[in-house]
Structure 1
Amino acid sequence: MIRREDTNRRLREEQDAAFQQSLREDQERERKREEKRKAEQDAKQAAADAERRAKEEEDARQRAVVDAAEALQRRKLEKAAALGPAPPRGSPDTTAVRIRLKDGSSHQRVFSAQDPLQAVFDFVESLDQLDSWQYSLVSTYPRLTLSQTSAQQALSQLQLVPQATLFVQSEDGSS
């Protein structure tokens, strides 16, 4: 009888050991499945986060472009408003200033001979075709380069009376 009990006990121990081994294997498979599910979920979340960040960056770039365009338009309107009305053509003590831009377009306005050069800069900056905010005005003969440093001098002091043609020269050297 002892043998039978020993056999039964050994059989139960073997069954318990097999059950424990099977349970560990099941737990390991479940752990791996959970890790895989979590990794897939993390990858989906990372992709969603990257897509959201990319969209936010694109929205920010678009807002910056729109803001820059609006700021440019506001600046042009401010410069146009700063000009005030032009004196009538042919009035005494006036000068006709023609501005040539890089694109070949030409724009003309009459100024008082006592207006500061800043008025001409304001006129140039009010033009829609202007593509550079860093520029100088250049006359051909005699060659004279006018920058913002001389903006307070009167047009008559700069010998731009009774008429002048000025070219817009970008700061990078192209005219």
Structure 2
Amino acid sequence: MFDLNSLPISGGVVVAGAVLAVVFGAGLGPLVADRTIAASGWTMTCESSLRSDQVSQSRDTSSAPDISCGDITDVIGNGSDALCNLGGDLLIDLMKLGTKLDPQTAIRERAANRASRIAELAPTKCACAAKTVASDRWGWGLYAATGRLIGGPDDLNTDLTQALHGSACAMKLED
């Protein structure tokens, strides 16, 4: 067993220090972390940033124009209505099918679907980053115990951004 009487300080100070470490580390550290992250407004900034990034990427996708046989006959001129009557609609549908089978169109559609999934997961991913940064109980506990003088994050936004892009918050749907 460990003898507290052999220490240069009294056993009461050691026990009080241990109790304070547990209280601040386990109790107040996570509370201070959550409140500090919430007060920074990072969650809202993170979500809007992820969504705007995905919207700007999805703007680059283009799709085939939605045209009909009647639209083409307006361009060709009079007397071309017979073209639509003789199966022009089928020809237009086959032309549209060709654009749907285009590999580049499929790639653009997958990219647009991926962007929409990431935008939908923005709150989850931002919450994961906040939870990851707040998980350092002892650092946040020291920060709370010393009146926010020692411990805590050096740069909260940098830590949150690194956690957002880190492997802990990587989403399987991003692949």
TM over 0.5: no
Q: What is the TM-score with the length of structure 2 in the denominator?
A: 0.28
Per the normalisation by structure 1, the TM-score is 0.28
Q: Which entry has the higher C-alpha Rg, 1 or 2?
A: 1
RCO greater where, 1 or 2, for CA within 8 Å and sep 6 or more? Answer: 2
Larger relative strand fraction: 1
More helix by share: 2
